[in-house]
């Protein structure tokens, strides 16, 4: 079993490694949708209804990927490690 510092370091390292590709992809897609969002005329009026949720989804997925998923993974692994520690400390044949 790893220590908590090792788990924290690995989660931070993984999040940092994913930051650049995720942010670059989301930024490129949002920049591509800006002409539709701020355009005028028949085409952009129809497409704004499609582009607005896409921009919101890109922002949300970026936040989810960079902040929420690493935090949830850290808590999940921490709880699993605590269960293992409690099981190891329990006497043989004993129950919680």
What would the pLDDT profile of 50-80 be if each residue is shown by its tens digit?
898 999 999 999 999 999 999 999 999 989 8
Query: Where does the pLDDT of residue 1 fall: very low under 50, low under 70, confident under 90, or very high at 90 and above?
Result: low
Rounded mean pLDDT, 37-41: 85
Using CB atoms within 10 Å of the CB of residue 90, give its burial: 0 to 12 exposed, 13 to 18 middle, 19+ buried.
Answer: exposed
Rounded mean pLDDT, 17-32: 95
Rounded mean pLDDT, 75-95: 80
How many whole angstroms separate alpha carbon 13 and alpha carbon 9?
6
Q: Is the model's pTM score more than 0.75? A: no
Q: Determine the pLDDT at residue 61.
A: 95
- What values do phi and psi take at 64, rounded to 5? -60, -45
């Amino acid at each position: 079993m790893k220590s908590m510092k090792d788990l924290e370091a690995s989660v931070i390292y993984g999040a940092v490694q994913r930051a650049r590709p995720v942010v670059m992809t989301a930024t490129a897609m949002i920049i591509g949708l800006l002409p539709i969002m701020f355009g005028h005329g028949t085409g952009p009026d129809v497409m704004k209804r499609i582009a607005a949720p896409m921009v919101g989804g890109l922002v949300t997925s970026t936040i989810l990927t960079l902040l929420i998923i690493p935090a949830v993974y850290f808590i999940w692994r921490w709880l699993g490690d605590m269960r293992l520690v409690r099981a190891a400390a329990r006497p043989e044949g004993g129950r919680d």
